[in-house]
């Protein structure tokens, strides 16, 4: 087993109108560093890729990467470069990336060009950007690779935004991580998802995650009993709902539940939109008194927003609004 820390540079259409929905980003460079189980660098991989879907390098991409048409015209096509990369990875690679986009772009390019490879399903990987935030930050902020390198005072003679250099810098950050502390927090690649009605379940120690299949709408997903109900993150038993699911934003719902054995649980549904349909990632974690109170506060704010929208709707329809009454709780 080896850790494969890789980075991709990709090209895109100069015009959104000309972008291919099945291939919004076309890989033009693959760079990677192979680490042994002790985190030591044992090999490196670097390959330019000749683009064909978007044969001319986007001016913005050229400015960032310093790659141009002349450099890429003699490079191998993606099918050849990717096959070399996957062979170099070896058996049972554990992928590591800076951020969550590279695996998705790799797999979309492979599908577009008809390349087959037996990825694990579900495919988990280490998002070094997230792990860096968990160990050195607040766990929420996502810093640039360059900022992380500077904060750790790592030597960096080469420029950023080239695949091999960025893979190497990501590996250097990886070597500074305490895996006993943050190594349990694997990320899940959402490029391939479970079938509708099926779920992927993960236990990360301090919280659990469930990834759903694809549904036509959020309402269709919420009609699924297993999505709506909350299981305790510690024992797996179903909890009693203390607060119904409510929308904090269009991107996530929140609720508060209670396990008879382990107390209150906060659950969150993060919605992900696809070209057709939606899916969700549900996380559940224990809620102390402060966290539970925050959920209740957000729910009250949600109800006020619903009431305000209803008054505005009635007003627009010509109804009587604006006069406080007992139903509004103002008397």
Is residue 214 within 8 Å of 278, Cβ to Cβ? yes
pLDDT of amino acid 270: 97
pLDDT of amino acid 314: 85
Of 8, 14, 234, nearest in space to 100 by CA: 8
Residues in the chain where the model's pLDDT stays below 70: 319-331
pLDDT of amino acid 285: 97
pLDDT of amino acid 329: 38
Residue extents of the structural domains in the chain: 3-187, 194-308
pTM of the model: 0.86
pLDDT of amino acid 316: 82
pLDDT of amino acid 260: 97
CATH number of 3-187: 3.30.420.10
Any residues with CB less than 8 A from the CB of 243 and at least 6 apart, and which? 254, 255, 256, 257, 295, 296, 299
CA angle, residues 188, 177, 6, in degrees to nearest 5: 55
């Amino acid at each position: 087993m080896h850790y494969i820390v890789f980075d991709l540079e990709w090209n895109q259409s100069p015009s959104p109108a000309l972008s291919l929905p099945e291939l919004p980003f076309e890989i033009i460079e693959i760079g990677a560093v192979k680490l042994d189980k002790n985190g030591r660098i044992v090999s490196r991989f670097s390959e330019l890729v000749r683009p064909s879907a978007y044969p001319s390098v986007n001016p913005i991409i050229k400015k960032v990467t310093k790659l141009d048409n002349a450099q890429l015209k003699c490079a191998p096509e993606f099918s050849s470069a990717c096959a070399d990369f996957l062979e170099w990875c070896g058996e049972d690679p554990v992928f590591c990336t800076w951020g969550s986009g590279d695996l998705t772009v790799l797999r979309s390019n492979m599908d577009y060009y008809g390349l087959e490879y037996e990825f694990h399903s579900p495919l988990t990987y280490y998002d070094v950007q997230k792990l860096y935030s968990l160990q050195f930050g607040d766990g929420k902020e996502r810093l640039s690779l360059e900022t992380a390198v500077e904060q750790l005072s790592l030597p960096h003679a080469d420029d950023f935004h080239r695949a091999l250099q960025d893979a190497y810098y990501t590996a250097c950050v990886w070597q500074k991580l305490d895996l006993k502390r943050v190594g349990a927090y694997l990320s899940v690649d959402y490029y391939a998802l479970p079938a509708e009605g099926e779920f992927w379940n993960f236990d990360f120690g301090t919280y659990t995650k469930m990834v759903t299949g694809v549904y036509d709408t959020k309402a269709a997903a919420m009609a699924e009993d297993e999505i709506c109900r909350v299981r305790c993150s510690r024992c797996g038993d179903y909890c009693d709902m203390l607060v119904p699911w409510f929308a904090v934003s269009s991107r996530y719902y929140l609720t508060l539940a209670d396990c008879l054995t382990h107390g209150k649980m906060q659950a969150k549904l993060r919605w992900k939109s696809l070209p057709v349909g939606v899916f969700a990632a549900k996380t559940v974690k224990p809620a102390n008194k402060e966290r539970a109170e925050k959920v209740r506060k957000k729910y009250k704010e949600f109800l006020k927003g619903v009431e305000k929208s209803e008054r505005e709707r009635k007003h627009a329809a010509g109804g009587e609004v604006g006069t406080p009454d007992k139903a509004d709780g103002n008397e």
